[in-house]
Amino acid sequence: MTRYSAFAIAREALRQHTGWTRAWASPEPASHYDVVIVGAGGHGLATAYYLGKNFGIRNVAIIEKGWLGGGNTGRNTTIIRSNYLQDPSAAIYEKARSLYEGLSQDLNYNVMFSPRGVMMLAQTEHEIRGYKRTEMANKLQGVDTRFIGPAEVKRLVPIMNIEGPRYPVLGALWQPRGGTARHDAVAWGYARACSAMGMHVIQNCEVTGVESAGGEVTAVNTTKGTIGCKKLGIVVAGHSGHLAAMAGFRLPIESVALQAMVSEPIKPCMDVVVMANTVHGYMSQSDKGEMVIGGGADHFNNYTQRGSWQHIEETVRSLIETFPMLSRLKMLRQWGGIVDMTGDRSPIISKTPLGNTFINCGWGTGGFKAIPGSGWAMADLIAKGEPGPLARDFSMFRFREGRFIDESVAAGVAH
């Protein structure tokens, strides 16, 4: 693997860029691996990466039915924050956010992490109370957030109309080190680092069945043949229910499409991320100048990865009161991704009824921000067979034990 550096760019410029090697290999699957991870989204790739980096487990295959990051990882609006209410959530999201800070250096791949600050607008008295409570919880958890008033909001985002007739801006929960990263680059960076460790990243290979014996998985059936494994990690977001059914167990998960869109590119006008949960919309400006706008989830279970007219209208209409300038913009494209929702809006990083099989899912509308922390915790679980401190509370069995981690407020807007 060529190491990326300023020196390498200069060297390649001098020799017409003939010396770059492929970023990752595309091998045919071997007949057996120590660990097979199903799903090459961010979470699956990060799991493999930390298995290699933290535990030296490198005989690993990551199997992807489409292309790297072609699921939700490449379809999200890239918001990164850790201002959650409950302690287990703040711990894993803050771990992820702090890993994002050094991820480009760690992976030797520019993931374009931009800690530009994230604000969640308070547009009702109820939200003010909720966010002040979260601010206090975050203080105890060591997460740097603070509640700011409307004047500070206006100073940070001059294009905002804070005196909207229906929902004036009353303040915001502000996380200065929240921000965004380039979603494809996160998948590509992890894939490249996995490949450099000798792991097999296998694309265009769908898992179609799971073979087990004596309560343990022995192999997965794929469109490229049967692949044996000592341990199996299922990390397939919106398809988790399908994979669990193949392995013979059920999950407390619903799958729905979540939608987003981008406008035509315009000059820089907003250098923070804004989330408006009451009117339901969230927005940032990409480096290309497009306004990246997150919409809502479909109100019915489905597996469609596309947008709909209804959501464009609903989302843009609700954001225009707070951002009147949006009414002059053309929307460039829209899309959808299949997200996996749990009842308490918290994820699952868990053992399963099968002894050597582990599952990571339920990140719903907000798992991009968690990728490094989730991969770290999942690798720990797979390597040791028992959850570590970051994953301990996120067992899939918590729903029947009544140990919910209620994040319906922190995850109240789809992002």
Ligand X SMILES: Cc1cc2nc3c(=O)[nH]c(=O)nc-3n(C[C@H](O)[C@H](O)[C@H](O)COP(=O)(O)OP(=O)(O)OC[C@H]3O[C@@H](n4cnc5c(N)ncnc54)[C@H](O)[C@@H]3O)c2cc1C
Whichever of 52 and 294 has its CB closer to ligand X, that residue is 294
The span from the CA of 278 to the CA of 128, in Å, is 11
At its nearest, how many Å lie between ligand X and the CB of residue 18? 32
Q: Cβ 48 to ligand X, closest distance in Å? A: 11
Interacting residues with ligand X (CB under 6 A)? 38-44, 63-66, 70-73, 75-79, 206-207, 235-237, 239, 243, 258-260, 294, 337, 339, 363, 365-369, 415
Nearer to ligand X, 119 or 162 (CB): 119
- Complex with ligand X: residue 141 or 342, whichever CB lies closer: 342
Residue whose beta carbon is closest to ligand X: 41
What is the identity of the amino acid at 389? Answer: P
- How far apart are the C-alpha atoms of 360 and 378, rounded to whole Å? 7
Q: For ligand X, which is the closer residue by CB, 79 or 326?
A: 79
H or E, element range at 31: none
What is the full DSSP assignment across 96-159? Answer: HHHHHHTHHHHHTS----B---EEEEE-SHHHHHHHHHHHHHHHHHT---EEE-HHHHHHH-TT
Closest CB to ligand X among 118 and 137?
A: 118
Q: Judge contact between 75 and 336, C-beta under 8 A.
A: yes
Smallest gap from residue 360 Cβ to ligand X (A): 7
End-to-end Cα spacing for the chain: 34
- In this structure, the number of other CB atoms found within 10 A of the CB of residue 28 comes to 9
Nearer to ligand X, 77 or 138 (CB): 77
CB of 67 to ligand X, least distance (A): 8
- Nearest-approach distance from CB 384 to ligand X, in angstroms: 21
| Number of Cβ within a 10 Å radius of residue 146 | 16
What SS3 class is residue 103? Answer: helix
- Of residues 130 and 337, the one with the C-beta less far from ligand X: 337
Q: Find out whether 155 and 113 touch, Cβ atoms under 8 Å.
A: no
- Location of structure tokens 């939608």: 259
Most distant CA pair in the chain: distance in Å?
64
Min separation Cβ 65 and ligand X, Å: 4
Q: How far is CA 190 from CA 8, 45, 50, 187, in A?
A: 20, 6, 10, 5
Shortest distance, position 338 Cβ to ligand X, whole Å: 7
Task: Mention every residue, 6+ apart, whose C-beta is less than 8 A from residue 16.
Answer: none
